[in-house]
Structure 1
Amino acid sequence: MSENTDDPGTEQVERGPSEVKSARRSSRRAFLKRAGLGTALVGLGVAADETIRSATAPVVPPRTTVTAADGVRIDNVTVIDPTDGSRRARQSIVVRNGRIADVMPTASAPVESSLRVIDGAGRFAVPGYNDMHTHVLQSPSTELGFALMLAQGITGIRQMEGSEELLTNRAENRLGLNETAPRLLQLPGALLLPFNANSVDDARTEIARQWDQGADFIKMVLTDQDVFFAAIDAAHEKGLRIAGHLPPPVHIDAAAEKGFDSIEHLGTGSSVFLTLSTKADELWAQTPSTLPFPTWAASIPFAGWAFDTFLKKNFLGPATSTTNAAQLGLLKQAFATYSEDRATGLAGSFVEKRIWNIPTMANIRSKYVLDDPEFRDDPWLKQLPAKEQEEHLAAVESFRSTPPADLDIFHEYYERTLQTVGIWAKEGAPIMTGTDGNGRGVGNSFAIEFRELGRAGLTPLQVLRATTSQPATYLGRTDRMGRIAAGMDADLLLLDADPLASIEGLSSISLVMRDGHDHTSADLEARIERLMTAQD
């Protein structure tokens, strides 16, 4: 984007003579240069409307339903209850019509010819896992994404980006959600961005529209501070939760106090670490209080479509593409003055206000530690199409070329993330698991998410709760999910190793049951292989 002062956006941000405003202006220019936002939006504004509408016309998928499952009994398993960490050995689980009908000692289980019997052979039975932050419905192949998730034990998902089209397709059973896919637990409408929430009135109108469309919650990404807080009120007035990112000007403690229901990725960016500094006020005073692009851009025709189609990857990409020198300087100061006491106090606020956190550790790691050898050696990399492999490796090499002093700050960002999540977990702040992925990614899987939560200090039981009973509590579905007991949905896993003995045990999946349909790990891997071969 040109820096010519005739540009209306530049005129808007260059008002004011102070050095602080000058630094802020420089920061926004740097962002625009990297993302190419202005150029893309202006180009889009002069495009032909009919051409764009034609290119983006939705394809109506076929209807699908879950096939009724035959009755089955799983014998000789140790049933683990995440709510209290108890174990019950040598149990049988009876499943009928997609629900758990009974759990009893195997020795006293009656013989019923109508039930197919699976020998659990001493394995460990746990409720199915829930990925509470996924974008699988944005995947080029949702069928493959679903298969990859099921193979990782994910039987329930909270989709974190929606649209009117997706909400309509869900209502008409057109999302491909059958017994070979996780259960869709929640779906929002369109992301809240300046393109649909550029003012308080806009936000209220958009939230009312999404409520009418059937959205389960509101997903916040980027708005002005006043709009952010008004959106919380507007969502709650409609009986909806609001979840997502914290825009740059919003303090995480203020968001918690206001009742922002679910904070993703620790809020994104530097917000949490500025707040956890003993010099918080001083650091926040140096932080821009406006959005990282001019508000006039939001009014350009199809600006939101352009952001979603062309710019989202850059906007949400590695830290090197979204962090400038001024922000790095602030982070360095924040880390030098990090306060465990402030982190503990913030955790107390989360507990009191019942604010949930989905850290998405593997995703944050991919943004701030992309030079780790795992991002070049992950076996999944070889499974990707050649173009995606090339793009990923180019991003890794670009990250590795970052000046060492900057890399040190990025690496410390992740270490402080581990430290902070560990403190929150120790204090009992509500935490759930989420990958921010679409089924599988390089350095991003449920096993890696579990591993990183363990590195943060969570015990195996805490991780198990974060992916089973905690989502059930958050969703208000403790009568249907989160435990293996009579009346629960028949979404469960058999594990080869004790999941309470080690983090690794959580990923030792032998069998996945989804709505009463059982799939061995071998069956699921074979399905993934077939779907990947079909894409080649």
Structure 2
Amino acid sequence: MRTLLLLLTLSLPSLAWSQTTIIRDVNVVDVRNGKILRNQTVVLNNKRITSIGKRSVKADSATVIDGSGKYLIPGLWDMHVHNFAREGNNPLLIANGITGVRDMFGSITALRQWNEEAENGKYPGPVIHASGPIVDGPKPVWPGSVAVSTPEQGIRAVDSLVALKVDFIKVYSLLDKASYLAIAAEAKKQNIPFAGHVPNRVTALEAAAAGQKSMEHMYGITELGLDSLDYYMAWQQGAAKDTLLNNRNNRNAFRNRNFSMTTFSKRLAELAKYDSWQCPTLVVNRGIAYMNDSTFTKDPRLAYMHKMFRNMWDPAKDFRFKTATPETFAQYRRDYELKMSLIKPMHDAGIRFIAGTDFPNPYCFPGFSLHDELGLFVKAGLTPLQSLQTATLNPAVYMAIEKDYGAVEAGKYADLLLLNANPLADIVNTKDIFMVFLHGKVYDKTAIDNLLASIRKMNAN
């Protein structure tokens, strides 16, 4: 720990942290409409963007950055993370231009402290919006979750989490329908958003109607294409007996075999009536589907991951996948490809997306994988602008923090990426980072390289 803190101290920006920074002759990307404002002068002061324009600005004692030929975009948000180890994760996030995260399960006390320390400049890190503990059924998937068996317990869970001042409530897979609906009603009553998994015993349409703010991993979405959805949900709720569906491989095969695009389109039109967002985490769906593929198991970015996570990504050592067979992974791949094929139809129907990775799940690399997610959105049919919006403007709108985040505009926080190439021409250019600005503090190429080197060194064994 001491070694890492020393390395982080040594890796602070090579540019002086003056109160004012001026970026001259830069191309500003307007993520609202895809326009490029060329040859702008952008002034940063006291953590915020103070002005943008073509007028000349006196430098005086300011740090001046030549932005000629470069592109300025908002800092990126990863809207589904589990940041259990900030010492190992934060440097990777900053180096990749991730200036904000939505943490989906963790100690709210620790996360609040990390937020304060980042805000005060004591320890570099992204802005955090956090759920605290997961709310799950009576036998939760993950230790540390709030176990709920009845609607009354669900209401008390909401009360306790509101008292902890969480930003939102995360619901999970094993909640029964009655408890879930009680949580939804109480969350609405107490004016706090709830998001997370669509529980196994609830349809995505029921979740949207109940007010679920976002649905993760596209759980419940492919089921909307089942002509036999009523039967499938009856089995989920225990009202129908089907021993074949008790088997994971059979269940995955059933969903893929019985999917109808015509049926899906009809239900999609209904889903689009609700203000429920999708955080599809395509990168984790891909990582799980291919976690037995050498293309992934030999990823050079493994050098940035702690040995504990590298070991966990071995299917034989993960309780969720240790009994998986080659056919299981074949089914996962078909499921992943199906989800990819639904992104554009959903977007065209008016469903709104936010980008998330679900690190540190298999082959989800803190920081790096958010760029992979943007690439997968484009591969699925979105334009580079639409993809970029999922990690910039959309998170700000989703969390109702558009006043401070989401675009390069005067008055907003100076959380920014300066890129060497235009991301609207090719989304891969979000990876070509020249500088990162974290609440106005400058991380140049040397500082970024030092951050990455510090983590490689820490995880060398």
> Is the TM value for this pair above 0.5?
yes
Q: Within the alignment, does 1:287 sit opposite 2:236 as a pair?
A: yes
**Equivalent residues in 2 for 1:131-142 (5 A)?**
131-136=78-83, 138-139=84-85, 142=86
Cross-structure match for 2:218:
266
State the AA in 2 paired with 1:79. Answer: V
Q: Residue 378 of structure 2: which of 430, 433, 454 is its match?
A: 454
Asked whether the 8 Å contact 1:283–1:330 carries over to 2, the reply is no
Asked whether the 8 Å contact 1:370–1:396 carries over to 2, the reply is no
Q: Within the alignment, does 1:505 sit opposite 2:429 as a pair?
A: yes
Separation in 1 of the partners of 2:457 and 2:361? 17
Task: Give 5+ residue unaligned stretches, structure 2.
Answer: 1-15, 139-145
Separation in 2 of the partners of 1:346 and 1:507? 37
Q: Within the alignment, does 1:207 sit opposite 2:158 as a pair?
A: yes
State the AA in 2 paired with 1:378. Answer: D
1:134 Cα offset (Å): 0.9
4+ residue runs of structure 1 moved beyond 6 angstroms? Answer: 174-177, 396-401
Separation in 1 of the partners of 2:288 and 2:362? 16
Q: Within the alignment, does 1:82 sit opposite 2:41 as a pair?
A: no
CA 1:472–1:178 in structure 2 vs 1: closer, same or farther (change >3 Å)? farther
- The number of residues matched between the two structures is 429
Cross-structure match for 2:135:
192
Separation in 1 of the partners of 2:121 and 2:133? 20
Cross-structure match for 1:44:
none
**Equivalent residues in 2 for 1:97-246 (5 A)?**
97-105=46-54, 108-136=55-83, 138-139=84-85, 142-166=86-110, 169=113, 173=117, 178=122, 180-184=124-128, 186-193=129-136, 194=138, 195-221=146-172, 222-246=174-198
Cross-structure match for 1:369:
290
1:399 Cα offset (Å): 7.0
What's the secondary structure of 1:92's corresponding residue?
Answer: strand
1:176 Cα offset (Å): 9.0
Separation in 1 of the partners of 2:120 and 2:339? 36
Q: Residue 275 of structure 1: which of 207, 221, 224 is its match?
A: 224
CA 1:386–1:515 in structure 2 vs 1: closer, same or farther (change >3 Å)? closer
What's the secondary structure of 2:135's corresponding residue?
Answer: coil
CA 1:217–1:391 in structure 2 vs 1: closer, same or farther (change >3 Å)? closer
Separation in 1 of the partners of 2:237 and 2:298? 38
Asked whether the 8 Å contact 1:203–1:227 carries over to 2, the reply is yes
Q: Residue 203 of structure 2: which of 251, 257, 269 is its match?
A: 251
Separation in 1 of the partners of 2:263 and 2:40? 46
CA 1:188–1:333 in structure 2 vs 1: closer, same or farther (change >3 Å)? closer
Bigger mean CA deviation after superposition, 158-167 or 204-213: 158-167
Asked whether the 8 Å contact 1:447–1:507 carries over to 2, the reply is yes
Q: Within the alignment, does 1:382 sit opposite 2:306 as a pair?
A: no
Task: Give 5+ residue unaligned stretches, structure 1.
Answer: 1-66, 291-322
CA 1:156–1:177 in structure 2 vs 1: closer, same or farther (change >3 Å)? farther
Q: Which has the larger radius of gyration?
A: 1
What's the secondary structure of 1:493's corresponding residue?
Answer: strand
CA 1:474–1:532 in structure 2 vs 1: closer, same or farther (change >3 Å)? same
Separation in 1 of the partners of 2:263 and 2:121? 43
Separation in 1 of the partners of 2:416 and 2:204? 35
More helix by share: 1
Asked whether the 8 Å contact 1:351–1:428 carries over to 2, the reply is yes
Cross-structure match for 1:422:
344
After TM superposition, the score normalised by the length of structure 2 is 0.85
State the AA in 1 paired with 2:151. Answer: V
Separation in 1 of the partners of 2:311 and 2:180? 38
1:368 Cα offset (Å): 2.2
1:240 Cα offset (Å): 0.3
Q: Within the alignment, does 1:357 sit opposite 2:308 as a pair?
A: no
Q: Residue 435 of structure 1: which of 327, 347, 357 is its match?
A: 357
Separation in 2 of the partners of 1:68 and 1:214? 33
After TM superposition, the score normalised by the length of structure 1 is 0.74
State the AA in 1 paired with 2:339. Answer: T
What's the secondary structure of 2:313's corresponding residue?
Answer: helix
Asked whether the 8 Å contact 1:249–1:289 carries over to 2, the reply is no
Cross-structure match for 2:5:
none
Separation in 1 of the partners of 2:330 and 2:246? 13
1:508 Cα offset (Å): 1.5
CA 1:238–1:166 in structure 2 vs 1: closer, same or farther (change >3 Å)? farther
Asked whether the 8 Å contact 1:368–1:411 carries over to 2, the reply is yes
Separation in 2 of the partners of 1:401 and 1:203? 32
RMSD: 2.9
- Listed one character per residue, the Cα deviations across residues 117-175 of structure 1 (whole Å, up to 9, x for unaligned) are 10012101111101111111x12xx1221110111111111111133533663687599
State the AA in 2 paired with 1:150. Answer: I
Separation in 1 of the partners of 2:327 and 2:108? 45
Asked whether the 8 Å contact 2:24–2:67 carries over to 1, the reply is yes
Separation in 2 of the partners of 1:96 and 1:382? 36
- Identity value in percent: 25
